[in-house]
Amino acid sequence: MAYISLEACLLDLEKNGQLIRIKEEVDPYLEMAAIHLRVHEAQGPAILFEKVKGSSYRTVSNIFGTLDRSRFIFKDTIQKVEQLIELKKDPIKAIKHPLTNFSLGLAALKALPKKNSSHTNSLFDEIKISDLPLIQHWPMDGGAFVTLPQVYTEDTDQPGIMHANLGMYRIQLSGNDYILNEEIGLHYQLHRGIGVHQTKANKKGMPLKVSIFVGGPPAHSVAAVMPLPEGMSEMTFAGVLGGRRFRYQYIDGYCISTDADFVITGEVMPGENKPEGPFGDHLGYYSLQHDFPLMKVHKVFAKKNAIWPFTVVGRPPQEDTSFGQLIHSMTGSAIQQEIPGLKELHAVDATGVHPLLLAIGSERYTPYAITKQPAEILTIANHMLGTGQLSLAKFLFITSDDSNKLHTKNIPAYFQFILERIHLNRDVHFYTNTTIDTLDYSGEGLNTGSKVVLAANGQPIRTLAKEPHERLKSVAGFDSCKMVIPGIVAIQTNAFTNYENAQKEMAVLNEQLKGIENEWHSNDHLPDEIAMIIICDDAAFFAADFNNFLWATFTRCNPSHDIHGISSFIKNKHWGCNGPLVIDARIKPHHAPVVEKNAKVEKNIEKYFNKGGSVYKKLK
């Protein structure tokens, strides 16, 4: 069915046993987020909070908490969306099978936004920011944030809804230096459409008009995060996915989604910024306080009986993981169609997506060559790092597999395949002094760091060790050597102080292990090879769970600064090593703090989960 509102969706979820109501009053300061996190971790239902302390509005979270629930919400339209995306890749299909695809043409009619002629007063009440549920998610957050906003802006050169941008950029409603009810913070990252709109407005010396929609049919939230081709309106996608045209009108020059539960309008003036953050973000760390655009509030609207949706992010997986899974299930191989030779890719959610990208490509350049080495996959890697948000990848591992048996989703097997084949003296390629994800604090500053491509092709050149070598266990100054997976070992050492000392520590490690690669190849009695050494604060943590290794290693490393190698060298400006690759994954002083739960709040919410509590039966 086409949901005409958020509430219609929630009633459908409740009817099908996928929603729970919490009738007791809940504090939006930390408690609501803590309840959400615990329910989400248990793969529980959506949560409707009926009484919110300090606000008259209900809130809901965990709507998209599982992929199954997300697909249930769009059960009547998702197949048509997938077929339309497939037709875009191969439009000849529509010509060959016109009757089969007739219904898709009807579905596409839903793509056209519809101007609503209803009078605003009959749809909305005018309220203030302070009337909203001001939800603070984590203890160190700078204030209350909107975490499921749909931020709407228009192109000053091509005004109108068909050239507008709808994106999900976090909004800070309170705290810091913001004047409550008058100012809010607008945070957006690299490669976002709103940045193009603000740049154009700034050049003309004009304010950028911004409308923030919250709630409405769930398709609108998904549209705001959908990676659509440039020039395609998110509002058209919302119509197709929701099975209902996106309805809108203009008030005081601002576009208003007339299906939204809440709308905040305002202006961003050229050059006007204020400190925004901190905010516990989806990499599992706080994004720190930085200057971001200041939005001066014009008007705030709320529907009758409006419901405020929110989500909570932190160390993955969280609800935004399901967003990614839903998008991937709909788009299928769309990116592979855009990048010739790319067979498969996986942005690893356990690392927060952008820090680690795994890919499989083709090697067709030199089929006549006896010796196989990376060629086409390096071209593919460069294409990927120049494509949209793929360009934010920090570590890109890429290989080829003629057998088509390797898959990027099987991450341990993928790592083993790469590490068995990679020539560490040839196949490590750095990109220094470049841009990285705004939320990644492993680099030298905001948006600033480095990248590395590790490319492997050909037959295995090593057998990976399954146990740590005795020589690794006895390195002076390093202790608690633990195996992560075959070929990868974590070694614990002193806390990181500064890069000058780190260089000395790596020199000590190198001196003690120098030549180990020659021993591996000359002494039949030594164990198989270690390809990667992780230097860390807690080896037991890295070895306890593979996701711990992925998260801590790839979020805490700036490749140009934190990758070392045993018997390393530079030849003709190319870096390589003859022994194992060494990654310093210790926490650095400039890193953002890890997002952690508050013990007191965790104790306070026990009443909801104990026998007889609101959540107990649903989770049981």
Residue 29 lies in a domain: yes
Higher pLDDT, 291 or 118: 291
Residue 183 lies in a domain: yes
**Tokens encoding 35:** 């309840």
Q: Compute and round to an integer the Cα radius of gyration of the chain.
A: 26
Residue 552 lies in a domain: yes
Instruction: Note down the domain range covering 402.
Output: 343-389+396-456
- pLDDT for 120 equals 67
Phi, psi for 263 (deg, rounded to 5): -140, 130
* For residue 368, pLDDT beyond 50: yes
pTM of the model: 0.91
CA separation for the pair 202, 147 (Å, rounded): 26
- pLDDT for 534 equals 97
* For residue 210, pLDDT beyond 50: yes
Whether 309 and 448 map to the same domain: the answer is: no
Q: Summarize pLDDT for 16-45 with one digit per residue, the tens.
A: 999 999 999 999 999 999 999 999 999 999
Kindly report the number of other CB atoms within 10 A of residue 44's CB atom: 19
Whether 188 and 42 map to the same domain: the answer is: yes
- pLDDT for 525 equals 47
Based on DSSP, count helices (H) and strands (E) in the chain, helices before strands.
Answer: 23, 30
CATH number, domain of 497, equals 3.40.1670
In terms of C-beta distances under 8 Å and separation of at least 24 residues, what long-range contacts does 23-27 make, across chains too?
A: 23/50, 23/51, 23/614, 24/51, 24/608, 24/614, 25/51, 25/52, 25/53, 26/51, 26/52, 26/53, 27/53
Residue (of 346, 345, 343) closest to 362 by Cα position: 343
Q: Mean pLDDT lowest for which of 333-342, 512-521, 602-611?
A: 512-521
For residue 104, name the pLDDT band (cuts at 50, 70, 90): very low
Residue 602 lies in a domain: no
Residue 195 lies in a domain: yes
For residue 108, name the pLDDT band (cuts at 50, 70, 90): low
CA separation for the pair 546, 559 (Å, rounded): 20
Residue 480 lies in a domain: yes
Whether 567 and 440 map to the same domain: the answer is: no
**Helix, strand, coil percentages in the chain from 3-state DSSP, rounded to 5:** 30, 30, 40
CA separation for the pair 282, 318 (Å, rounded): 8
Whether 160 and 14 map to the same domain: the answer is: yes
Whether 435 and 487 map to the same domain: the answer is: no
For the chain, give the mean pLDDT: 90
- pLDDT for 4 equals 94
Whether 274 and 409 map to the same domain: the answer is: no
Q: Summarize pLDDT for 80-93 with one digit per residue, the tens.
A: 887 777 655 443 34
Whether 503 and 424 map to the same domain: the answer is: no
Q: Summarize pLDDT for 63-78 with one digit per residue, the tens.
A: 999 999 999 999 998 8
Residue 57 lies in a domain: yes
Whether 433 and 534 map to the same domain: the answer is: no
Q: Summarize pLDDT for 298-331 with one digit per residue, the tens.
A: 999 999 999 999 999 999 999 999 888 888 888 7
Residue 92 lies in a domain: no
Whether 509 and 479 map to the same domain: the answer is: yes
CA separation for the pair 398, 383 (Å, rounded): 12
pLDDT (mean) for 346-370: 88
Q: Summarize pLDDT for 436-482 with one digit per residue, the tens.
A: 888 899 998 888 999 999 999 999 999 999 988 877 877 878 888 99
pLDDT (mean) for 375-392: 92
Whether 247 and 295 map to the same domain: the answer is: yes
pLDDT (mean) for 99-109: 49
Higher pLDDT, 173 or 110: 173
CA separation for the pair 210, 193 (Å, rounded): 13
Q: Are strands 19-26 and 46-52 parallel, antiparallel or unpaired?
A: parallel
For residue 387, name the pLDDT band (cuts at 50, 70, 90): confident
CATH number, domain of 359, equals 3.40.1670.10
CA separation for the pair 529, 518 (Å, rounded): 11
* For residue 101, pLDDT beyond 50: no
CATH number, domain of 301, equals 2.30.110.10
Cis status, amide bond into 317, omega within 30 of 0:
yes
Q: How many structural domains does the chain have?
A: 3
Residue (of 577, 555, 579) closest to 568 by Cα position: 577
Whether 433 and 559 map to the same domain: the answer is: no
- pLDDT for 423 equals 96
* For residue 126, pLDDT beyond 60: yes
Give the residues across from 360 on adjacent strands.
344, 399
Q: Is the dihedral of CA 493, 497, 498, 501 positive or negative?
A: negative
Whether 511 and 450 map to the same domain: the answer is: no
For residue 102, name the pLDDT band (cuts at 50, 70, 90): very low
Higher pLDDT, 402 or 520: 402
For residue 201, name the pLDDT band (cuts at 50, 70, 90): confident
Higher pLDDT, 269 or 471: 269
Per the CB < 8 A criterion, the answer to whether 79 and 23 are in contact is: no
- pLDDT for 614 equals 78
pLDDT (mean) for 273-292: 95
